[in-house]
Amino acid sequence: MEHLAVGARFAYAQPMRESRDFDVLVVGAGHAGCEAAAAAGRRGARVALLTLDAADPGTLSCNPAVGGIGKGHIVGEIEALGGIMGRVTDRARLQARVLNRSKGPAMQGPRAQVDRRRYRAAMARALADFPTLAVLTAEATGLLVEGGAIVGLQTADGAIRGGAVVLTTGTFLGGVIHIGDRRLAGGRSGAAASRLGEDLRALGLPVARLKTGTPPRLDARSIDWSRLGWQHGDRDDPRFGTAMGPATPPIPCAITRTNPRTHTIIRANLARSALYGGHIDSVGPRYCPSIEDKIVRFGDRDGHQIFLEPEGYDDITVYPNGLSTSLPADVQAAFIASIEGLESARILRPGYAIEYDHVDPRALDSTLAVTALPGLYLAGQINGTTGYEEAAGQGLVAGANAAAHSLGLEVLRIDRTEAYLGVMIDDLTTQGVSEPYRMFTSRAEYRLRLRIDNARERLTPKGIALGLVSASDADHFTSTQAERAGARALLDTLTASPTRVAAAGGDVGQDGIVRSAFAWLRFPAVTTDLARVIWPELTALPQPLLASLAVDANYAAYLDRQDSDIAALRRDQGLQLFPGLDFARVPGLSHEMAERLAAANPDTLGAASRVAGVTPAALVALLPFTRKAA
């Protein structure tokens, strides 16, 4: 077992706690694992991050991009809780854009193309900031259980004891790679699979199979770029974090499309696809289908858009986003050659599908702890999700709570009314998954409140209280919030009549009502530029701050209504179900309702209300078995 001290000041001489080697053991160094290890480290835990390869932390297994609609919101929330994904992305970006910029702020999502090598290097630097975090190059082969609780890991080289274990195995858990009729054991191309799946089954956890896929990688030197369209980053170069980071020259993506000839080639070879040839039984992500799925499910379309994403400044590899496939390599070469600009493209590595084990997330509670095995936490694709961002968000929550379990700290719970992280965790633990879960803004009932621009206001106070936010970031947040409060007070104090607004050039109705500056900012005609003309005092406010307050003003009326809805929901959320409640013994619950509730194991009446198929009558039957939260 190779030991790598990631934190420059990692101390072997620290006193052991209850004969533990570490406080938290994290298995897997993908996005969930890195975020889990960092979160536990921020709370003062001695952390071991176990990986099969010391170079794994920060590896982008699939597309070279971070963020997007819903996903970008999660990255912003991770950043607000002191996490590292956003700042690592900022340091490695090739270009950045805000998707849905033409829509309202609640629907916008930042997305960055990144340099794979720089991302990995930036992740290594981020992890090095934690003096009590070490990387162990070791294979976890089993869980150590004593008295019904997890007390460590068995590895190929011996046992490691820990106060809590976080499993973030990604697609490595029983991973099988499919290329046509070829099958290879592995968690991704060139990497071995994990053997932990059988141990989880033996411990009674509900384990099932899912699938995902990836496209072939292309040689940039063999692409005819002159025939392609371009997609550039935004001029304002949006960031996830507050630190500016390095200035880097942007690199655009190119755009092409499949065509009827491409589709003919794929249809003629569907029987040779692992997916349609009967080699794969598990379900893949609905919203990121393979090119075979697209041709079959959307047969009326004559083309599908393909984004050619560069993988780095010094990398000849191009990722053709939209061409995920499990067809044999010769068929991949044929359909690639049918696409405009790719006629002579060379495949550096064929695409493939991968099947892997996951645990039904209904076996977890809202802290991402396995309810039947105290001390065990799960995060990422092992919970049935897909995507770097979803994995990292779960990693942060699981790592923070593993540290809480080990060190006796307050747990981190995030309500679905306060963050997309809360929406995701609540969806997973109450509904389970039938296919890989992906975050969308439409999943959040209160998405007008859960905007990317107010993630810090929503979550950073909680992060500070739980020790997840550094002292410097906490000071910065406190000062910016004080500035914001002062600016808001100024907007509430300044007033104007419709006549005064019209005299300044604002096309508003003359209803005679004198309104505050904040109220006037709700009117489309009263832009921030016009507001500075009407009230010269506002010229002292930074433009980003005034623009952010204008967003608050635009949403104010809707948010008031949502606040009432949230208050009603929280009245239900405050009713906790008795621990260990046997739903089969609850009078008035049908056998079906009892089965659904037992599978989800909700801990509050509000969570029970979101279990698929649970009726209002069933909720009434549960009322005598609830108590108010402390």
pLDDT, one tens digit per residue, over 314-338 is: 999 999 999 999 999 999 999 999 9
Work out the number of other CB atoms within 10 angstroms of the CB of residue 297: 10
CB 169 within 8 A of CB 394: no
Mean of per-residue pLDDT scores for the chain = 90
Confidence of residue 66 (pLDDT cuts 50, 70, 90): very high
The Cβ of residue 334 has, within 10 Å, a number of other Cβ atoms equal to 17
C-alpha span between 163 and 20 (Å, rounded) = 7
Q: What is the token pair recorded at 530?
A: 């016009």
- The mean pLDDT of 493-505, rounded to a whole number, is 96
Q: Write out the H or E segment, with its range, that includes residue 51.
A: strand 47-51
pLDDT for residue 245 = 62
pLDDT for residue 16: 35
The secondary structure of residue 470, as a DSSP letter, is -
What's the residue count for the chain? 630
Better pLDDT: 190 or 585: 585
CA distance 388 to 386: 7
Average of per-residue pLDDT across 603-607: 86
The residue type at 462: K
In this predicted structure, the answer to whether residue 15 has a pLDDT above a threshold of 80 is no
Among the residue ranges 6-10, 196-200, 230-234, 294-298, the one predicted with the least confidence is 6-10
Helix (H) or strand (E) holding 229: strand 229-231
Which residues is 306 bridged to in the sheet?
Answer: 256
- pLDDT surpassing 50 at residue 297: yes
pLDDT at 244: 63
613 pLDDT band, cuts 50/70/90, is confident
Q: Which pair of structure tokens corresponds to residue 188?
A: 């991704």
Place of tokens 């609609």: 69
Has residue 10 got a pLDDT over 50? no
- Residue 617 scores a pLDDT above 60: yes
Mean pLDDT calculated for residue range 412-437: 92
pLDDT classification of 17: cutoffs 50, 70, 90: very low
Query: Do the Cβ atoms of 500 and 534 come closer than 8 Å?
Result: yes
Q: Which of 145, 13, 5, 22 is nearest to 399 (CA)?
A: 22
Beta bridge partners of 97: 111
| Contacts for 434 with CB less than 8 Å, ≥ 6 apart | 283
Distances in Å between the Cα of 51 and the Cα atoms of 27, 139, 195, 236, 600 are: 6, 7, 13, 38, 31
Q: Which residue has the tokens 């290890």?
A: 37
Question: pLDDT tens across 536-562, in order?
Answer: 999 999 998 999 999 999 988 888 877
Measuring CA to CA, which residue among 446, 440, 390, 379 is closest to residue 418?
A: 446
Residues 6 or more apart whose Cβ sits within 8 Å of residue 429: 361, 362, 364, 365, 366, 600, 602, 607
Burial-class residue 530 by CB neighbours within 10 Å (0-12, 13-18, 19+). middle
374 and 150 Cβ atoms separated by less than 8 Å: yes
Q: How far apart are CA 329 and CA 350, in angstroms?
A: 6
Average pLDDT, integer, range 236-251: 81
DSSP letter at 340 equals: T
End-to-end Cα, the chain, rounded Å? 45
Encoded tokens for 499: 């006549």
Least confident segment among 153-167, 290-304, 485-499: 290-304
Global confidence as pTM: 0.88
Give CA–CA dist 217/325, Å, rounded.
11
Q: What is the pLDDT of residues 180-189, one digit of tens each?
A: 989 888 877 7
> Which position has the higher pLDDT, 12 or 354?
354
Q: pLDDT > 70: what percent of the chain? A: 95
- Provide the percentage of residues in the chain whose pLDDT is more than 90: 70
Is the Cβ–Cβ distance between 284 and 189 less than 8 Å?
A: no
Distance CA(40)–CA(121), nearest Å, equals: 21
Q: Which helix (H) or strand (E) holds 617?
A: helix 616-622
Write a three-state SS string for 101-153: CCCCHHHCEEEEEECHHHHHHHHHHHHCCCCCEEEEECCEEEEEEECCEEEEE
pLDDT digits (tens, 9 = 90+) for 427-459: 999 889 988 999 988 888 888 889 998 999 999
Residue 187: DSSP 8-state: S
Tokens of 137: 């190059």
Cβ-proximal residues to 602 (8 Å cutoff; 6+ apart), any chain: 429, 430, 577, 608, 610, 611
183's enclosing H/E stretch is strand 182-185
Which backbone phi and psi does 610 adopt, to 5 degrees?
A: -100, 0
pLDDT at 272 over 80: yes
Residue 8: is its pLDDT beyond 50? no
CB 163 within 8 A of CB 407: yes
For residues 284-308, give the mean pLDDT: 88
Residue with the bigger pLDDT between 408 and 156: it is 408
